[in-house]
Structure formats: C-alpha cells, structure tokens
Chains A and B, each alone.
Chain A
C-alpha cells in the first residue's frame, strides 16, 4: 500500500459573480489528477503558474476542499475524516510554504515557534518541549544563539530552516513542500535543498515537492509529475524526464532552464574550455 494515493482530484474556483453574488464563471484549477506516493519517496509537481500544482498540494492536506476525487493517506480516507481526526492526521502530514517570512508568527521566538506543535498536539511538559525544539533546530543547522530571536532577525534561508524544523516536530511521514526555495538566493537555495535531502534519507520522509523550476527538481525528486492547465501532462522517473521527455510541454520546460554559459559578441553561446563541441 502506498503512503499516499490520490485519485481523480478535481477543483474549480469561482472566477466571477453577478450582482446577487451568484457565481457565474468557473475556473477549472485541477482536472482529474491522480498519483501515488510511496514511503520515503519524493514526487515533484512541476508546472507554470496557474497549472494547479499548489492547489493539488493543498488539497492533499485538505487545506482546500476538493470538488471530487479521493485522497488516501496510509489507508485512511482523508476527505471523509471528521475535523477532530483530521487534526490528529495532520500531525503526520505537514507543509512548508514558499515565503518563510509570512509562515512564522513574528511575535513568537524561534524556539517557541518550533515547540508550539508539541504544545498543541501532546501533553509533554515545557522542559521536554523546549528540549526537543532545540534538538530539531540543531538538526536543521540553527545554532543555540538564535533560540531567543524573533523571525525578523533571521535571514530568509535561516527562516526556511526554522519552518522545516517546525514541520518535523510531530515526526510526520509526509511533507508537502510548496516552492520551498523559490524565495531564496541561489547559494542559500542549495543549502536548503541539500538539507531537505539529508533529512529525507535520515528520517525516511516522503515529499510532495511543488516547484516551478525543473532545474531544482533533479536534485531532490525520485519522480516528476508535470502539470499544465490543471491536468497531468506526464509522470515519470526523474532520470527519464531529463533524459527522454515524452511530451512537447516537458521539452519546452527543460529548454527554458537558463544555462550558465556566456555569449560572444554575436550572441552565440561560448563553450567551456577543455570540452569539445
């Protein structure tokens, strides 16, 4: 049994209302998306803005209610779960957002932010909670001198590490990562991606990794699902997607990845020295 089984997921949003507030126009954001995710696996969901990839990520956690379809997490029907059980279930399925500045409470210290899920979901005492928070922060590379700091005092890369630590507190088996490095500098992006990969290996996490940049996906994903206009274009292993993309749309996305080769005066790409062709 797969960790996550998603079948025929569909969602439309209202795109216009008449003067009585009745919905007149509908936008089909996600149309019949199905996929599975195994334990410890990373599936990347790739596509342009508006492809519906974030909506899929949110529907898996039921942060957005799907119109139809089914989501089965570890054998449990997520869409039929009652609010109280859903709360318990969400301990095992967490989320990391794109913008770490707005996903952390600005008035809560870093240590409190990471310890808060333990306060909500467990009856561990304060000392235990704080001890676990410190351990987690250490794991993601946030040193003890930041414990009493507030989010505004940390950089974007550090905040994303804190957000990762917070997502790990309840020992989840699935983390939905919604563009976790899109807001970060190139050099810091590499740090955070490497961290996510290390944690995956160490803790056996499964990631649903929503990302618009195929170049980053190769580092982290086992399989890739390409989406366009709410539908799945193709799903394949990462190696296959990069070596033998089957769909034109995937080829287009691959071709758009900027290559770090400068051009000469005529606009032709230069070739790295010591390399033929």
Chain B
C-alpha cells in the first residue's frame, strides 16, 4: 500500500526541490447575495501544499475555511457559488482554467474529502462494503471481486476490527468514530494524493478524536497522502499539521509553519485563538481568555483591518483606516501576517 516511489507526474521545480502538489493563488469565491448580485465570501486566498505535506486551514464559522476547501475540490458550483478570480493548480495543472470533467476525473484518484458528520456522508441504504467498492470500481476500473477485496483491505487499514465481516454491515451499525473510519477508507481506497478533512473529529468524543487523529497520522506515513485539514480548533491542528493558515473574515490572517505559529504568533487573532484553548491543570484563575464579539458577516466587513473591532491591540487611526496587506515577516522564512502592528507587538503563544 505504501507508495515507494514518487508517483508519476511529480515534478521538480527549478531549484531541485519538490514542486507543490496544490497551489491556491489569489482565490476569491462569491455567492449570490439575497439583495441581488454576488457577495464575496473568500477573498484573495493563497497557500500551497507539497506532496505528503500537512496543512491546516483554521478559523471560526464564517471565516471561509470550508468555502476554500470546497473550491479546491471543484464543488463551488454545486454549492451555489462561483470562483470569481484566482487559480487552483493541482500537480501543475490549472484546474480553474480546465473543464468540470477534468476536475471530476481528479476527485477520487487525485483528491478526496471527508466531512464533519460521517453518518450523514454515508448512504444508509447500502452496505459500507458496497459504498467503498463503488468508488474503486468507478475510479480504478476494478471488477466486483477485486473491489470487494479492496474494500476489506481498506477497512482493515483504517483499523476496523473483523473487516471481512463488517463489510456487509449497513452504516447504522457503526458508531460515529467507526463511520468516520469508513469514510476515510472510502476516500483512501482510490489512492488519492490529497486528502481534505473538514472538521473530521468535531462531532466525535475526545477519546475517539484522539484515535482518528492517530489514524490520519499513520495513513500519511504509510501512503504519503498530503493532508489539508480544516478546523476551528488549534489544539487538534497541533497534533497533525506542519503548516497552518489562519483565516479570518474570508481572508488569510496569518500563515506559518506550526512551530512558528504556535510559539510565536504574529497576529492578535491567532494569539487569541491560542489563548482560548483550555489548558488542563494550568488555568489558575479558572477563566478562559475569550476573544470578545463575533466575526463580521461577508458584506459587513469593515473598511480597515477586519479584526480591529475585536482586537485588544487595535489603535484608532492606524488599524481602521486602510485594509492591511499580508506581509512577510523578517526573521522567519515562511511567516506572513495581516497586521499593521505585527512588527511591534509581542504576542502570547503556547506556554504549556
């Protein structure tokens, strides 16, 4: 199952390093607004992911993280929106310039996605074996017998006990955590090169969450699949991802390798998110640091910094006048923050 050699089509860039598997360039996504016209919900988002890499898209509900991941899957149209501008380049091919069919052919062998509520992602009327077999028969052209064998192999791989028997069970016979394993098996059965996981553990118990995160880590090691992990919870992200993109109000607020971002955040929003993670045994005054207020809705984005109204460091006259750009920070190769005060603030990171 392990991918020993680099998969066909992996290219190297001019410097000899591995080329990006996924590159999102200046992506903007719009949805029809109730008052007519189109409303931008994701604006000018860029990031890239190497083969076998792991990156997190982090933000609150309404930050645009799911809209971004849906766009990477090429499903924006199916959710009623449209890609207004920007490019999504997968393995060197600009998908936004291609046809829907090209994208469709990639879903499965190229990229796969798992969602927050596994029980709702599975069809209750078919056995889990049939559902896994369906995807490999369609995408890999296997016959019935091969597909069934593959389904057992995959259920085994995601550590479902007695895989050969469980394959004939219906989704209702599986718990939430087991359903998520089935979803992962289904997506991984086609050997995708990119796995998008949208809040895959939010609906699960903490103990089950721990095991699913372990499984995702193992899968990455075994198959070399790249992971785009979408979550609102930085604590979960730390378990899994090497790079983090923090989104706020439809745009990138900060991005950095995990170590930089967790220990030396440069955007007050990131620091606030880190502060609101409960730290067992360490909250002396028994209070959590909260970020006041709520995220502005698309269409109500303020003129200046979109986070300024909730930011304890905001300075009138500087933060609310012009929309700050995403600036590369000194001293850190791949660290960008969208804050005019990034250079002068000393923000709290993880201190556990």
Contact = CB atoms under 8 A, between A and B. Distances in A.
20 contacts: A49-B175, A49-B205, A186-B232, A186-B276, A187-B276, A190-B276, A190-B288, A190-B291, A193-B288, A212-B206, A218-B278, A220-B286, A242-B281, A252-B207, A257-B235, A258-B209, A258-B236, A259-B352, A262-B262, A263-B239
Interface string B225-249: 0000000111110110110000000
A219 B61 contact: no
Interface in A223-277: 242-243, 252-265, 267, 270, 272-273, 275
Interface residues of B, number: 50
Interface in A131-172: 155-158
Contacts of B318: none
Contact of A214 (B61, B62, B206): B206
Contacts of A262: 238, 241-242, 258-259, 261-262
B283 interface: yes
Contacts of A259: 235, 238-239, 352
A188 interface: yes
Given A158-B294, A272-B352, A257 B283 contact: no
B207 A218 contact: no
Interface residues of A, number: 45
Given A191-B292, A261-B352, A214 B280 contact: yes
Nearest to A269: B238
Interface string B269-303: 00011101111110100111111101100000000
B100 to A, nearest CB: 33
B334 interface: no
A254 B280 CA distance: 8
B86 interface: no
Interface string B192-209: 000000000000011111
A49 B294 CA distance: 30
Contact of A258 (B60, B233, B241, B274): B233
A58 interface: no
A36 interface: no
Contacts of B272: 187
Given A219-B287, A272-B350, A253 B207 contact: yes
Contacts of A197: 286-287
B224 to A, nearest CB: 14
Which of B61, B286, B288 lies at the interface centre, i.e. has the most chain A CB atoms within 10 A of its CB?
Answer: B288
A253 B294 contact: no
